[in-house]
């Protein structure tokens, strides 16, 4: 049996929510930094505030960042890791490794929504198992430590790369989990109602979720977070006894 399932709660917008998810047993929290298309995005000052001396490791999420600002943030609060929502240039990854050797480098990859309007078209070559494995191998050679497989979905006519509340093709993710050379976290549409199924189907190294444990956009619901975490820990316990 592998080492359990880590839980990252993303889109944290207040110190209160950060502390609550930590108290309830989350392993990581995520802060979205300067991402214009996220309703949960934080400014430099608020991101530093959330990521300074946290009770659990914090991950900063960026999309095509302003590298000077990102550097300021990293110097200012030394988060546990960065999660790139868009591809990061190889030279940038190399200098991050040099300047912040302890910093974990995570990369999001986006799969089409399962059964979405564009699923059949998009699932073709770019999202096939072989090309995804090749991509993950390339990311590993560039210094990425972990891959988050999230959902891209068209919602209200706009293409959204995260926080969609939509699931992707979990059987494809399952195959990647067993064959990829990096740890894989599952994201996209996970909530207390489907987390057990997600874990039994995919058996990922971790899960990453946002809207499924909120009461409204940007506000975490402690009861939903607690319900989800209880189910993850019960599933881990059951797996341990299977081994």
Q: Which is nearer to ligand LARABZUK, 60 or 101 (CB)?
A: 60
Stretch that binds ligand LARABZUK, among 34-42, 122-130, 168-176, 230-238 (CB under 6 A): 34-42
13 touching ligand LARABZUK, by CB under 6 A: no
Cα 139 versus chain centre, distance: 16
Residue 208 interacts with ligand LARABZUK (CB under 6 A): yes or no: yes
Distant-in-sequence, close-in-space partners of 29: CB < 8 Å, separation ≥ 6? 8, 9, 10, 12, 18, 21, 22, 50, 54, 56, 57, 58, 59
Q: How far is CA 170 from the centre of its chain?
A: 15
Q: Which residue from 222, 106, 85, 112 is spatially nearest to 170, judged by alpha carbons?
A: 112
Tokens of 22: 């930590």
In angstroms, give the least distance from the CB of 149 to ligand LARABZUK.
Answer: 10
Rounded Cα–Cα distance for residues 198 and 224 (Å):
16
Distance in angstroms (rounded) separating the CA atoms of residues 225 and 121? 35
Report 144-203 residues binding ligand LARABZUK (CB under 6 A).
150, 161-165, 187-190
Shortest distance, CB of residue 215 to ligand LARABZUK, whole angstroms? 13
**Site string (104-143) toward ligand LARABZUK, x via CB under 6 A:** ----------------------------------------
CB of 206 to ligand LARABZUK, least distance (A): 11
Min dist CB 209 to ligand LARABZUK, Å, is: 4
**Is position 212 an interface residue for ligand LARABZUK (rule: CB under 6 A)?**
yes
The residue within the footprint of ligand LARABZUK, chosen from 32, 93, 186, 228 (CB under 6 A), is 32
Cα 36 to the center of its chain, rounded Å? 18
The encoded tokens of residue 196 equal: 């057990």
- x-marked contacts with ligand LARABZUK along 43-82 as a string, rule CB under 6 A: ------------------x---------------------
CA distances from 140 to 46, 133, 135, 143, 214 (A): 31, 11, 9, 5, 33
Angle at 56 between CA 55 and CA 61, to 5 degrees: 120
Binding site for ligand LARABZUK (CB under 6 A): 10-11, 30, 32, 35, 37-40, 61, 85, 150, 161-165, 187-190, 208-212
């Amino acid at each position: 049996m592998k080492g359990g399932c880590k839980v990252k709660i993303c889109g944290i917008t207040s110190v209160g929510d950060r502390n609550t998810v930590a108290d309830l047993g989350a392993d990581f929290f995520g802060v979205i930094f300067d991402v214009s298309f996220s309703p949960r995005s934080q400014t430099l000052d608020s991101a530093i505030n959330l990521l300074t001396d946290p009770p659990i490791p914090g991950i900063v999420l960026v999309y095509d960042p302003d590298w000077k600002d990102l550097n300021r943030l990293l110097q200012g609060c030394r988060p546990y890791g960065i999660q790139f929502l868009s591809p990061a240039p190889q030279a940038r990854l190399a200098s991050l490794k040099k300047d912040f050797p302890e910093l974990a480098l995570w990369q999001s990859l986006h799969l089409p929504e399962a059964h979405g309007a564009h699923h059949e078209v998009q699932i073709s070559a770019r999202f096939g198992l072989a090309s995804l494995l090749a991509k993950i191998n390339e990311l590993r050679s560039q210094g990425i430590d972990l891959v988050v497989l999230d959902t891209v979905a068209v919602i209200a006519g706009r293409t959204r790369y995260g926080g969609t509340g939509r699931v992707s093709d979990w059987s494809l993710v399952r195959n990647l989990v067993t064959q990829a050379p990096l740890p894989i976290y599952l994201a996209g549409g996970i909530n207390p109602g489907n987390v057990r199924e997600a874990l039994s189907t995919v058996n990922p190294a971790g899960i990453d979720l946002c809207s499924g444990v909120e009461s409204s956009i940007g506000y975490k619901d402690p009861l939903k977070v607690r319900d989800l975490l209880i189910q993850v820990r019960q599933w881990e316990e059951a797996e341990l006894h299977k081994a």
